[in-house]
Amino acid sequence: MRFGSLSVAGFAVALAVGASAAGESVLFIGNSFTYGAGSAVRHYRSDTVADLNNEGVGGVPALFKAFTQQAGLEYDVALETIGGAGLDVHLAKKLNVIAARGWDTVVAHGYSTLDPDKPRDPARLIATSKQLADVLRRKNPNVNLYLTATWSRADQVYPNNGAWAGSPIDAMAKDIRTAYDRAAAGAGAKVIPVGDAWNRAMQTGIADTNPYDGIDAGKLDLWTHDHYHASTYGYYLEALVIFGRVTGRDPRSLGGSECSAYELHLSAADASRLQQIAFDELKALGPAEPQPFALPSSPKRERCTAR
């Protein structure tokens, strides 16, 4: 679906490449944090994106696609995902898929603890991010590469055997962000601060900080049942931050009546709260400036099913 654009005195996120040309290609490379494990997001609108591994995944890429359609943008969205994999696995097993064409934009991330064999060690992420950048730029020297800094895993913080055991819940995401900043510097990439947005949601009282002791009334659980992967709320926030970072659009412009929220059974109030968090986190990356951005009308719900 497509909404009209209005020039308003609001802030858009002036952090990315701006509005896309028609059909601009975007490839998502990731693992279960991209394909939406543990939630209804996994197979959401899978017919709207190209799953290069033919596994019927919609995931966060399909949410991104839905957001861009509602904002009146045209993106050709594809994904290549492998559960439990860092970038090294994608380069070893799927190089022919990744390098099959010159992508305009690539959004990628590594393993959730930085290194599955050496948790908290950023060396592998830094090295493989540079390798990925080199592969992509051989096909398209002007590719826009984004690295998604992921969230704190409650299962790595609260249990005694976790790699971040005894740390505050926000510490893991902060460490992940530091590692991704280093990786991005070496790869000539930009960072998408998803983990920081999760931290912001918890710090502002929108999201619960500890799923092991129950969820406080009125707060969202960003994790799913394993306290590791995201819930639908968590993936929705992830997709909002990616949308704002890549397109330069204000996530709040989607509005509480945004179609994906409706289809995934998020309330309008919760959708709006998460959109605000995404905007605030992206604005914190640097100065924002007024820009025109798409404002939704109040669409009839049946229009939300349009592909």
Q: Facing residues of 29 across strands?
A: 80, 108
CA 194 to chain centroid: 6
pLDDT at 305: 52
Domains in the chain: boundaries = 5-305
Give the dihedral sign, CA 42/65/106/150: negative
At residue 223's C-alpha, the angle toward residues 185 and 259, to 5°, is 85
Q: Which amino acid is at 302?
A: E
Q: Tens digits of per-residue pLDDT, 135-170?
A: 999 999 999 999 999 999 999 999 999 999 999 999
Which of 6-20, 136-150, 242-256, 279-293 is predicted with the least confidence, judged by mean pLDDT?
Answer: 6-20
Checking if the pLDDT of 292 tops 70, the result is no
Question: 5-305 maps to which CATH number?
Answer: 3.40.50.1110
CA 190 to chain centroid: 13
